[in-house]
Structure 1
Amino acid sequence: MIFNRRSLLAGVTALGGASFLPGIAHAKGSVIATTYPGTWEDAYRTVVAPMLKKKDDIDLELAPLFAMDQIGKAKAARGAPPFDVFVLDPGPRIVGLEGGLFEKFDATKLGNLSKLPAGFTDDVGVHVSAQVVGIAYNPKKLPAPKGWGDLLKDPWVSRLGITGFQTTFGTSSLIELSKLFGGSLTNVDPALVELKKVLPKIAAVGLPAAMPGLFQQGQCDVMYTNTQTVATLKGKGVDVEFVKPESGAITFFTTMHIAKGSGDIGNAYKYLDLVISKEAQEALTKPPYNFLPVNKDVPLAADMPMKNLDEMANYVQHDWAKINPLRAAWIEKFNKEMAK
């Protein structure tokens, strides 16, 4: 029997993410790219894959994996990566960079490079989506909170839903909450102390993926989250609004990187160029996907907390090189202390 990475990928998906085998030949005319499970996978399968096939006659094969699973698979492959392109948030990006998992990136190979704001590419990859993090609340049940500290007060605390450090938005939000009580980028203990004081009042504690559903079901009416989640809930008819905290909204960018040892770097660049194109970015901003674009020619939705991407330069950003070494311990501590 003859195997290639495409058939292997299908088998891995069916087996629920079993380890990839190294050294599998790459199918001609295709590119294998990771994608986050859920909205990202649906969007890229529905929107981007048909565009890539039509534009460049390239088959897009998607490997739905969370960020650190991508890193783990690539490291285990020992130089024969099971996919061509990573998609990563800031923390895992640094882990991949430190592990030497990315090809050197040549931004001049992107035809749409001029449509990106300055600084949206570097020598390892390209920004493909923006994220803005703040507070979501139900305006029919609660007044608008002004900032992170309001979450621990009535009437918000009794309707609050919280999640831990497993995600970039959760980690970022808890860092900002901690700063109000004497904490810092690397000290989140004050946030956990204050949360524990009000834990009996808190409406819901859940995994990150569960929070939108808990909000939709009315089990909580205020939570920290990103604008994409708020837009998705609105699209489902949920009463929800986004608040930019008075200390500033948080921003970060999702990036894509070509895997070191990729079987077809040429197709990978064509894929990335399409991802940042106006056509793809504009389609991804629409419901039910609600991505924040990085292409300057794509208008932002009217309900976004900024008028243009340049405003995000003034938003709160975090140094993930300092966060990464501490994050596993934070996750463990949150899970232990915040269980209800």
Structure 2
Amino acid sequence: MMKKALSVLSVMSLVGLLLAGCGNSEPQPAASNQTTSGGNAGSEVQMEGELVVAGNGSTVEKLMKDKIFKKFNEKYPNVKLTYVPGVSTEIVAQVKAQKNAPQIDVAVIEGGEQEKGHQAGLWEPITEKDVPNMNKVPKEYHVSDNSGVTVNVTPIGISYNAKLVEEKGLPIPKSWNDLTKPEMKGYITMAGITSNFGRSPLIMLSYANGGSEKDMDPGFEKLKIIAGYMPTFAKSSAQLMQNLQNESAAYTTWTMARSLVLKDSGLPLEFVFPEEGGNAVLTVASQVKGAQHPVAAKAFIDFLLTDEIQTMYATDLFYSPSVDVKLPDDVAKMLEFDRSKVVTFDNDVVASKTAEWLDRFNKEVAPLAGK
């Protein structure tokens, strides 16, 4: 121990002499916004002094700014963090538009949109050397070509206002096909298929009727029926929420996480994972290719996979962690669903076919709303 102490003192003395020899003991400006990171085992690298993260707004933005950013800055206090809120489709479009001069370093977005970005070459491949915690993510949550890392998961299904359903004597849904029952007319609100809240149910309506993402005819036929039950397709999740809150609708299709957040705020929502199953929506963190702050980006993605942040995703937003972490018993119980019924979509097909589906939706389905 004494030898080690003497060695350290010798090194410190040498550094002092070198600084004195330079004639300037003040820190250099270039180093004033740098943070030492120990992300690579056994080595130290200089982290940039800034990081720009893009992700969903609303409750996700609040968690990021109020808690996750603060915790990250406790570890890396010299990194200035900026958050850019938006929906996943907008973020991918923004990253694509900035491809030659990226302004965003990390995108934390829905997996289907992340795959579109992957096909467009927007993300930097990630390795366990740079993001050690990614080795805790199970294989079923791995992202194509390691172009990102799954940071949380939530299933899509059907939510209903239990109070309104009981008062009106409406059916409790068990199947995706229950949304086509005549008694549902006037009580459904759904998003268009530009949103995953509309696109995934469309795909599941195909699965529930003998099709799949590779055969969407059955889903489109069922969605045409549902369109006639609604005045219009909602343009945003905020509109879906408003329709449920003002009781102009009793049913919607979206994630368990969204349903539980609103239930926690006092809205009497119940979530159903339909008997045919449904897809698990992955939230994926990706480093933008050519990002200005790549070291900080990797450190931040790795930080999102720590037990502390994974627990925050569960307790604050009701997302299931993407890694094995011990949750409070009451939260763990709330997040239970039949994982044997998870349907894994072929994201390559979904990403390549979405534009075609949207064109068909606009021509065949959307005009039927309000009829």
Do both share a fold (TM > 0.5)? yes
SS of the aligned residue for 2:354 comes to helix
Q: Which residue, out of 193, 196, 199, partners 1:165? A: 193
1:334 pairs with 2:355: no
SS of the aligned residue for 2:276 comes to coil
Shift of 1:275: 1.0
Aligned position for 1:53: 73
SS of the aligned residue for 2:154 comes to strand
Q: Which residue, out of 329, 335, 353, partners 1:304? A: 335
Amino acid at match of 2:335: M
Contact 2:192 2:235 in 1 (8 A): yes
SS of the aligned residue for 2:129 comes to helix
Aligned position for 1:90: 111
1:125 pairs with 2:155: no
Shift of 1:83: 1.2
Contact 2:179 2:226 in 1 (8 A): no
Contact 2:104 2:288 in 1 (8 A): yes
Contact 1:79 1:260 in 2 (8 A): no
Evaluate the alpha carbon distance shift between residue 267 and residue 28 of structure 1 in structure 2; reply closer, same or farther with a 3 A threshold. closer
Contact 1:157 1:203 in 2 (8 A): no
Evaluate the alpha carbon distance shift between residue 176 and residue 266 of structure 1 in structure 2; reply closer, same or farther with a 3 A threshold. same
Aligned position for 1:76: 97
Q: Deviations over 1:276-314 (max 9, x none)?
A: 111112122224x333221311425322233xxxx6465
Contact 1:203 1:219 in 2 (8 A): no
Contact 2:54 2:86 in 1 (8 A): yes
Amino acid at match of 1:319: D
Contact 1:33 1:63 in 2 (8 A): yes
Contact 2:205 2:222 in 1 (8 A): no
Contact 2:105 2:287 in 1 (8 A): yes
> Which whole-Å CA distance do the structure 2 matches of 1:85 and 1:29 have between them?
15
Q: Which residue, out of 108, 111, 125, partners 1:104? A: 125
Q: Deviations over 1:317-340 (max 9, x none)?
A: 211211223322433443432432
Unaligned runs of 5+ in 2: 1-46
1:316 pairs with 2:343: yes
Aligned position for 1:18: none
Amino acid at match of 1:293: P
SS of the aligned residue for 1:223 comes to strand
Unaligned runs of 5+ in 1: 1-26
Aligned position for 2:173: 145
SS of the aligned residue for 1:112 comes to helix
Larger helix share, 1 or 2: 2
Amino acid at match of 2:66: T
Q: Which residue, out of 292, 305, 308, partners 2:320? A: 292
> Which whole-Å CA distance do the structure 2 matches of 1:203 and 1:232 have between them?
26
> Which whole-Å CA distance do the structure 2 matches of 1:301 and 1:157 have between them?
35
**Aligned Cα RMSD in Å?**
2.4
Contact 2:48 2:296 in 1 (8 A): no
Aligned position for 1:20: none
- Structure 2-normalised TM-score? 0.75
Evaluate the alpha carbon distance shift between residue 280 and residue 146 of structure 1 in structure 2; reply closer, same or farther with a 3 A threshold. same
- Structure 1-normalised TM-score? 0.82
Contact 2:228 2:368 in 1 (8 A): no
1:250 pairs with 2:279: yes
Aligned position for 1:241: 270
Aligned position for 1:193: 221
Shift of 1:28: 4.0
Instruction: Decide which structure has the larger Cα Rg and report it.
Output: 2
Aligned position for 2:51: 31
Amino acid at match of 1:257: S
Shift of 1:214: 0.6
> Which whole-Å CA distance do the structure 2 matches of 1:302 and 1:190 have between them?
35
Shift of 1:79: 3.4
Aligned position for 1:40: 60
Evaluate the alpha carbon distance shift between residue 75 and residue 205 of structure 1 in structure 2; reply closer, same or farther with a 3 A threshold. closer
Shift of 1:264: 2.2
Amino acid at match of 2:72: L
Deviates more, 1:327-336 or 1:35-44: 327-336
Aligned position for 1:177: 205
Q: Deviations over 1:223-257 (max 9, x none)?
A: 21110111111012111111111111321311111
> Which whole-Å CA distance do the structure 1 matches of 2:132 and 2:66 have between them?
23
